């Protein structure tokens, strides 16, 4: 790439010439005790052009004129060291072969080497200091005022970082180097007693995190940053409770599970939320396996604008697919995820497709034109109470939409088809769960019966924090409105995981599948919804049942107290990944339910609620609903 000269190049170049001159002259002065005779002055003038040529040549060779010095790093300083050392050696070799050091002390060149490194490095570091602490566009008067007039300095919030590890160090470094941030970090706290009294970039580790209140009160701290992304739920809860005892605001660096690219930065800091209390540990992925079946392939994701679909897309792009097709029926979510991904992953080929899985023509068109090799099917209707009222929608979209894309993927010999299922398919108590269980049967039997090369598999898991329509946004809205917060039942429990974690495990399961498997993700410990509601109220600064009331409104249609991950006749086997299990489930004879599916299609077209539920019961015997109890 051709190096384009900028006006700043000429400024730096001129300053380097002056510093080289000062360095050589200073070397003469220091060596000869500040007394130079006529002969030494002549030697200086003779050596100066040679010093210019050799040093500028090596400075240019080591890219010292291409760097943006406001971002000077240790690598830049190392380049200065290499350039100065080699130029001085070359300089000395020339003198050795031309004059044999006649009339000159060899120590002049050693002192010149030292001064060159100090002056050139100092000039670059002063540029970085100016931009970091004074600001771009500042004048010399601003530079002077920074030191003599504290009133002119920007008002910064006194901040303590909890966590004196790699994450805390990175956060502090970014705050220090970014003059636009309004934080002033005064020190660290950490749970390791061995770190107390030590320093990070000159700032002290005051003590343990249990002493938050003391240090916040004594130092007038306004903000606390919790920078321990590896902390479990109990540790986060303990630190948050301690922060609540102070008047300081507190924020958190999300867990590594949430950080899609694994990079910690000031942009990732946010307010503490309920998901931080889940304590989900980072997922260890076999990147080689995942990259082996996704890298360089055309990948299609249905429901790409949804919570899981969009999360899958973000994860998939990390493994360099040849092309990612976003298949979505809703225009606005498709538009938003397309913009978001293209901004986050510039240079990647991302193709948005506005289409409906219920329309076979939409699917056929994208398969025939783009030829996807890997399919992740995440499109589905998921709202349980809504689908109890409109069961034909669940049948048309979830069941026959899935049949459409399964058939077309088979016809075009896709390499792999991954179906995203739910724990509500286990002993389903609602139409949504029953429809997803039918889809599992369709996908599993397609793999067993078809002659296609396509590998079909299913991944089953529970609720995800932050998904569209989940309970947390509802609770937050109710809290903002002053309550009450409505909980269906005091004993209702659910399994939760984070969207990035679920998506990562879906990709990993896809790499492990050989065909026909139903993989079950480790959902961890179940969570009481009542306790979740109370935690959210406390996070908002209120007291449950005092400031914000909690009301129990009863189970909604199709809802049950406990979700399950296994049904009768199923058993799990461990896999190579500790968070992924595979079912040993009974296999259905698909030919036996073909006629039933056709009946189901007919009832859905006619919108016959009762007949739809009865036929779902025939196909999925474990489907239990109050509807059947009422009929009996």
Tell me what pLDDT residue 312 has: 94
Give the dihedral sign, CA 502/504/510/513. Answer: negative
**Range of lowest pLDDT (65-79, 317-331, 349-363):** 65-79
CATH number at residue 291: 3.40.50.720
On whether residue 1 sits in a domain, the answer given is: no
Element (H or E) spanning 456, and its range?
strand 455-461
On whether residue 397 sits in a domain, the answer given is: yes
Does residue 51 carry a pLDDT above 90? no
**Range of lowest pLDDT (54-68, 94-108, 109-123, 133-147):** 133-147
Q: How far apart are CA 392 and CA 234, in angstroms?
A: 44
Question: Are 89 and 138 within one domain?
Answer: yes
Tell me what pLDDT residue 302 has: 97
Does residue 380 carry a pLDDT above 70? yes
Please report, to the nearest 10 degrees, the dihedral formed by the alpha carbons of residues 16, 17, 23, 24 taken in order: 150
- DSSP-based three-state secondary structure for 34: coil
Question: 505-518 burial, b if ≥16 CB within 10 A, otherwise e?
Answer: bbbbbbbbbeebbb
Question: Are 269 and 310 within one domain?
Answer: no
Q: Give 597's contacts (C-beta < 8 A, 6+ positions apart).
A: 399, 403, 438, 619
**Range of lowest pLDDT (304-308, 348-352, 551-555):** 551-555
Check residues 447 and 393 and name the one with the higher pLDDT: 393
Q: Give 195's contacts (C-beta < 8 A, 6+ positions apart).
A: 164, 188, 205
**pLDDT per residue over 140-151, tens digit each?**
444 444 444 444
Tell me the pLDDT band of 584, cut-offs 50, 70 and 90: low
Question: Are 361 and 414 within one domain?
Answer: yes
Tell me what pLDDT residue 69 has: 58
Q: Give 550's contacts (C-beta < 8 A, 6+ positions apart).
A: 483, 484, 485, 486, 487, 530, 533, 534, 537, 544
Q: How far apart are CA 249 and CA 251, in angstroms?
A: 7
Q: Which residues constitute the domain of residue 360?
A: 287-619
DSSP letter at 130 equals: I
Tell me what pLDDT residue 602 has: 95
Tell me the pLDDT band of 3, cut-offs 50, 70 and 90: very low
**pLDDT per residue over 414-462, tens digit each?**
999 999 998 888 888 899 999 999 999 999 888 776 667 899 999 988 7
Question: Are 260 and 302 within one domain?
Answer: no
**pLDDT per residue over 496-533, tens digit each?**
777 888 888 899 989 888 888 888 887 667 778 888 88
**pLDDT per residue over 99-117, tens digit each?**
777 767 778 888 888 988 8
Element (H or E) spanning 418, and its range?
strand 416-422
Report the number of distinct structural domains present in the chain.
3
Strands (E), 67-215: 157-162, 183-189, 199-200, 203-207
Structure tokens at 50: 């040679």
Percent of the chain with pLDDT strictly greater than 70:
80
Q: Give 584's contacts (C-beta < 8 A, 6+ positions apart).
A: 570, 571, 572, 573
Question: Are 325 and 439 within one domain?
Answer: yes
Average pLDDT of span 313-321 = 93
On whether residue 629 sits in a domain, the answer given is: no
What is the value of pTM for the model shown? 0.64
Tell me what pLDDT residue 147 has: 47
Q: Give 558's contacts (C-beta < 8 A, 6+ positions apart).
A: 384, 385, 387, 388, 429, 430, 431, 432, 433, 625
Phi, psi dihedrals of residue 541, rounded to the nearest 5°: 90, 15
Element (H or E) spanning 121, and its range?
helix 107-129
Phi, psi dihedrals of residue 418, rounded to the nearest 5°: -115, 120
Give me the chain's average pLDDT, please.
Answer: 81
Question: Are 550 and 448 within one domain?
Answer: yes
Give the dihedral sign, CA 306/471/224/200. Answer: negative
Tell me what pLDDT residue 97 has: 81
Average pLDDT of span 543-566 = 76
Question: Are 439 and 389 within one domain?
Answer: yes
Last residue of a domain, one of 245, 277, 309: 277
Question: Are 137 and 191 within one domain?
Answer: no
Percent of the chain with pLDDT strictly greater than 90:
28
Q: How far apart are CA 592 and CA 612, in angstroms?
A: 18
C-alpha distances in Å from residue 177, one per residue of 71, 113, 145, 362, 499: 9, 30, 20, 51, 32
On whether residue 210 sits in a domain, the answer given is: yes
Question: Are 444 and 324 within one domain?
Answer: yes
Question: Residue 535, Cα to own-chain centre: how many angstroms?
Answer: 25
Check residues 395 and 478 and name the one with the higher pLDDT: 395
Candidates 381, 466, 465; CA nearest to 430 is 381
On whether residue 525 sits in a domain, the answer given is: yes
On whether residue 627 sits in a domain, the answer given is: no
Question: Are 222 and 176 within one domain?
Answer: yes
C-alpha distances in Å from residue 514, one per residue of 412, 442, 458: 19, 17, 11
CB 396 within 8 A of CB 435: no
Tell me what pLDDT residue 8 has: 66
Last residue of a domain, one of 145, 165, 200: 145
On whether residue 2 sits in a domain, the answer given is: no
DSSP letter at 453 equals: S
State the DSSP string of 525-555.
S-EEHHHHHHHHHHHTT--BTTTB-EEE--P
CB 51 within 8 A of CB 68: no
Q: Which residues are catalytic?
A: 424
Does residue 321 carry a pLDDT above 70? yes
Tell me the pLDDT band of 346, cut-offs 50, 70 and 90: very high
Give the dihedral sign, CA 259/260/261/267. Answer: negative
Tell me the pLDDT band of 71, cut-offs 50, 70 and 90: low
Element (H or E) spanning 326, and its range?
strand 323-328
Last residue of a domain, one of 255, 277, 299: 277
Question: Are 377 and 270 within one domain?
Answer: no
The segment with the largest mean pLDDT, out of 358-372, 546-560, 568-582, is 358-372
Check residues 247 and 351 and name the one with the higher pLDDT: 351
Q: 550 in the Ramachandran plot: left (φ > 0), alpha (ψ -120 to 50) or beta?
A: beta
Does residue 471 carry a pLDDT above 80? no
Candidates 124, 1, 21; CA nearest to 71 is 124
C-alpha distances in Å from residue 355, one per residue of 235, 300, 381, 394, 431: 45, 12, 15, 18, 24
Question: Are 125 and 195 within one domain?
Answer: no
**Range of lowest pLDDT (19-28, 127-136, 457-466):** 127-136
Does residue 1 carry a pLDDT above 50? no
On whether residue 101 sits in a domain, the answer given is: yes
**Range of lowest pLDDT (310-314, 343-347, 452-456):** 452-456
Check residues 73 and 430 and name the one with the higher pLDDT: 430
Does residue 612 carry a pLDDT above 90? yes
């Amino acid at each position: 790439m051709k190096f384009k000269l900028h006006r700043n190049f000429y400024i730096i170049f001129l300053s380097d010439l002056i510093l080289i001159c000062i360095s050589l002259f200073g070397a003469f002065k220091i060596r000869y005790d500040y007394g130079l005779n006529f002969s030494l002055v002549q030697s200086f003038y003779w050596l100066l052009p040679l010093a210019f040529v050799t040093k500028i040549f090596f400075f240019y060779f080591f890219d010292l004129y291409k760097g943006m010095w406001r971002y000077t790093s240790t690598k830049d300083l190392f380049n200065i060291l290499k350039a100065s050392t080699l130029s001085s050696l070359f300089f000395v070799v020339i003198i050795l072969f031309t004059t044999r050091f006649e009339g000159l002390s060899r120590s002049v060149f050693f002192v010149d080497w030292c001064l060159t490194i100090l002056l050139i490095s100092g000039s670059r570091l002063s540029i970085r200091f100016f931009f970091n602490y004074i600001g771009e566009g500042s004048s010399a008067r601003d530079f002077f005022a920074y030191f003599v007039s504290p009133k002119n300095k920007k008002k910064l919030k006194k901040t303590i970082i909890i966590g004196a590890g790699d994450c805390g160090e990175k956060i502090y470094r970014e705050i220090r180097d970014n003059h636009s941030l309004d934080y002033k970090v005064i020190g660290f706290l950490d749970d390791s007693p061995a770190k107390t009294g030590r320093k990070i970039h000159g700032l002290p580790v005051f003590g343990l995190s249990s002493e938050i209140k003391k240090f916040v009160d004594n130092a007038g701290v306004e903000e606390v940053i919790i920078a321990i992304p590896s902390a479990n739920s109990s540790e986060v809860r303990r630190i948050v409770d301690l922060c609540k005892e102070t008047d300081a605001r507190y924020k958190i660096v999300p867990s590594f599970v949430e950080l899609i690219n694994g990079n910690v930065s000031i942009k990732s800091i946010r307010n503490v939320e309920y998901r931080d209390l889940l304590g989900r540990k980072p997922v260890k992925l076999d990147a080689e396996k995942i990259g082996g079946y996704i890298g360089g392939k055309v990948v299609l994701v249905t429901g790409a604008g949804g919570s899981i679909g969009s999360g899958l897309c973000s994860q998939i792009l990390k493994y360099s697919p040849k092309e990612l097709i976003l298949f979505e029926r809703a225009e606005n979510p498709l538009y938003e995820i397309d913009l978001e991904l293209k901004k986050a992953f510039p240079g990647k080929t991302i193709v948005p497709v506005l289409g409906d899985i219920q329309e076979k023509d939409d699917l056929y068109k994208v398969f025939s034109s783009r030829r996807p090799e890997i399919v992740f099917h995440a499109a589905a209707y998921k709202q349980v109470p809504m689908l109890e009222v409109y069961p034909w929608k669940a049948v048309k979209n979830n069941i026959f939409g899935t049949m459409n894309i399964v058939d077309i993927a088979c016809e075009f010999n896709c390499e792999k088809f991954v179906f995203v299922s739910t724990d509500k398919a286990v002993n389903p108590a609602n139409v949504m769960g029953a429809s997803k269980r039918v889809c599992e049967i369709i996908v599993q039997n397609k793999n067993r019966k078809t002659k296609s090369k396509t590998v079909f598999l299913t991944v089953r898991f529970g609720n995800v924090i932050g998904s569209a329509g989940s309970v947390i946004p509802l609770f937050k809205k109710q809290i903002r409105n002053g309550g009450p917060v409505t909980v269906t039942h005091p004993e209702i429990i659910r399994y939760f995981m984070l969207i990035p974690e679920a998506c990562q495990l879906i990709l990993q399961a896809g790499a492990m599948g050989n065909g026909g498997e139903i993989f079950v993700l480790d959902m961890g410990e179940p969570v009481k919804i009542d306790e979740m509601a109370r935690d959210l109220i406390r996070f908002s600064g209120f007291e449950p049942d005092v400031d914000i009331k909690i009301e129990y409104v009863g189970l909604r249609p199709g809802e049950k107290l406990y979700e399950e991950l296994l049904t009768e006749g199923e058993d799990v086997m461990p896999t190579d990944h500790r968070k992924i299990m595979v079912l040993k489930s009974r296999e259905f004879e698909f030919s036996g339910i073909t006629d039933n599916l056709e009946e189901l299609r007919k009832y859905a077209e006619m919108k016959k609620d009762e007949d739809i539920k009865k036929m779902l019961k025939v196909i999925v015997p474990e489907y239990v609903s109050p509807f059947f109890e009422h009929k009996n």
